[in-house]
């Protein structure tokens, strides 16, 4: 039976995507690290193919404004201005990607844009009110590109009773699913999330959840201790050692004790939490602080995966997101998996580590323009499937 919306109308459940001819789309993503826009040119046909990627970094002043708007005392005027400014930047990112690859924008069927998360407030209490806010006006992107734009994907899942995240498992199935091999896709963005892909399973067997912090806390560390935006390749963290007291404290966080479905953001692991850690563990050496936070990411992801997914044997662990380049995180993951898993990078499967979420946005937009659902209720906790996003249409010539 098809899932039903709350109004009673049928919403088609997910199915695998096939097309008689190839179409081109662009996906745009900026995560909780708020460092810039990842853009991906994607081809849809008998399979999903990543054609090209680009990265559009935020100017330091803009990043500072985004982080201020994401903080507890942001003002409405700033958020309002950033909504338009980020829309223009996302639009410029799409235009630059197309021009770099000599693709006329007229040949791009649509653009999918995640926007920039300013607030993500899922309620894990029964009957509680959930909300989320991603800015970067889709109309501005539409104006810049002349393309159909799908944006603001998360709110439809929240309206359906879900957490609005993670949305990645749907795309992970299309990109990394295997007929025989059990796989875990571990996205290391600002927040860490995992997707379980059972070998030979269909979309109804896919599940996943946010596991805890990743680059978000590490970026705070890099800025606080070393004056850097991030710890490139984990070079600083590799010099440190795990502090057992700090590790134990982090692992006692209430979010980690919750069962899926669940999602997290800056509200759980942002600047406020980092400042609390600094006050309580200010005597921990900076390099040890960073290495310990890498261990927190690995421990929470591997521990919760083995607990909730219960792999039948050795599992392939596919890393994506900016944290996949952090050698300290990778080392900590490998140490905890041992003989239970084999670690690979998403680039080995044709999707570069920093491009996976941008491809996800193109996939979700593809679903939306066809009137098909893009969430997985088992993952987000939604009551039903939902067509995600809001559509911006170009005006007449």
Q: Which residue has the tokens 């309206």?
A: 159
Quote the percentage of the chain above a pLDDT of 90. Answer: 85
Using the 8-state DSSP alphabet, how is residue 127 labeled? T
Q: Is the pLDDT of residue 46 over 90?
A: no
The residues of the chain that CATH labels 3.30.420.40 are 3-164+358-392, 168-349
Domain 3-164+358-392 classified CATH 3.30.420.10? no
- pTM of the predicted model as reported, rounded to 2 decimal places: 0.91
Q: Give me the DSSP letters along 322-380.
A: GGGG-HHHHHHHHHHHGGGEEEEEGGGGTS-TTTHHHHHHHHHHHHHHTT-----HHHH
pLDDT digits (tens, 9 = 90+) for 231-260: 999 999 999 999 999 999 999 999 999 999
With cut-offs at 50, 70 and 90, classify the pLDDT of residue 397.
low
Token output for 52:
């090209």
Q: Is the pLDDT of residue 52 over 50?
A: yes
pLDDT digits (tens, 9 = 90+) for 373-387: 999 999 999 999 999
- In this predicted structure, what is the pLDDT of residue 395? 84
CATH superfamily of 168-349: ATPase, nucleotide binding domain (3.30.420.40)
- 59-86 residues labelled b (16+ CB within 10 A) or e (exposed): eeebbebbbebbeeebeeeebeebbebb
- In this predicted structure, what is the pLDDT of residue 74? 85
With cut-offs at 50, 70 and 90, classify the pLDDT of residue 125.
confident
- The mean of the pLDDT values for the chain is 92
CA angle 185, 273, 225 (to 5 degrees): 90
Identify whether the C-beta of residue 128 lies closer than 8 Å to the C-beta of residue 98.
no
Q: Is the pLDDT of residue 18 over 80?
A: no
Identify whether the C-beta of residue 184 lies closer than 8 Å to the C-beta of residue 207.
no
With cut-offs at 50, 70 and 90, classify the pLDDT of residue 396.
confident
With cut-offs at 50, 70 and 90, classify the pLDDT of residue 59.
very high
Lowest mean pLDDT among 6-20, 100-114, 226-240: 6-20
Cis amide prior to 166 (ω within 30 degrees): yes
CA–CA separation, 52 and 287 (whole Å): 36
């Amino acid at each position: 039976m098809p899932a039903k919306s709350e109004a009673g109308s049928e919403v088609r459940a997910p199915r695998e995507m096939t097309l008689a001819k190839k179409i081109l789309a662009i996906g745009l993503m900026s995560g909780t690290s708020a460092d810039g826009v990842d853009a991906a040119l994607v081809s849809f046909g008998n399979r999903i193919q990543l054609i090209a990627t680009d990265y559009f970094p935020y100017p330091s002043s803009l990043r500072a404004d985004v982080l201020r708007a994401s903080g507890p005392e942001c003002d409405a005027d700033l958020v309002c201005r950033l909504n338009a400014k980020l829309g223009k930047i996302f639009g410029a990112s799409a235009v630059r990607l197309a021009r770099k690859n000599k693709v006329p924008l007229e040949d791009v069927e649509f653009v999918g844009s995640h926007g920039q998360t300013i607030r993500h407030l899922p309620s894990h209490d029964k009957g509680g009110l959930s909300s989320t806010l991603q800015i970067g006006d889709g109309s501005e992107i539409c104006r810049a590109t002349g393309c159909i734009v799908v944006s603001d994907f998360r709110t439809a899942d929240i309206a359906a009773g879900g957490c609005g995240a993670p949305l990645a498992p749907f795309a992970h199935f299309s990109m990394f699913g295997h007929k025989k091999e059990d796989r875990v896709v571990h996205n290391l963005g600002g927040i860490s999330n995992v997707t379980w892909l059972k070998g030979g399973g269909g979309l109804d067997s896919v599940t996943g959840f946010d596991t805890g912090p990743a680059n978000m806390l590490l970026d705070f560390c890099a800025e606080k201790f070393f004056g850097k935006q991030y710890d490139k390749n984990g070079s600083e963290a590799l010099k440190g050692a795990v502090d057992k007291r700090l590790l134990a404290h982090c692992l006692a966080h209430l979010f980690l004790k919750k069962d899926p479905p669940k999602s997290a953001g800056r509200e759980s692991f942002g600047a406020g939490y980092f400042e609390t850690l600094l006050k309580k563990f200010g005597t921990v050496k900076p390099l040890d602080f960073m290495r310990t936070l890498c261990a927190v990411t690995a421990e929470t992801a591997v521990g919760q995966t083995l607990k909730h997914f219960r792999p039948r044997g050795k599992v392939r662990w596919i890393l994506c997101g900016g944290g996949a380049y952090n050698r300290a995180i990778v080392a900590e993951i490998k140490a905890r998996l041992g003989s239970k898993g084999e670690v690979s990078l998403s680039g080995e499967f044709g999707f570069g580590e920093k491009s996976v979420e941008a491809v996800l946005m193109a996939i979700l937009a593809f679903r939306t323009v066809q009137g098909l659902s893009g969430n997985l209720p088992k993952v987000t906790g939604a009551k039903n499937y939902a067509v995600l996003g809001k559509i911006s249409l170009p005006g007449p010539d």
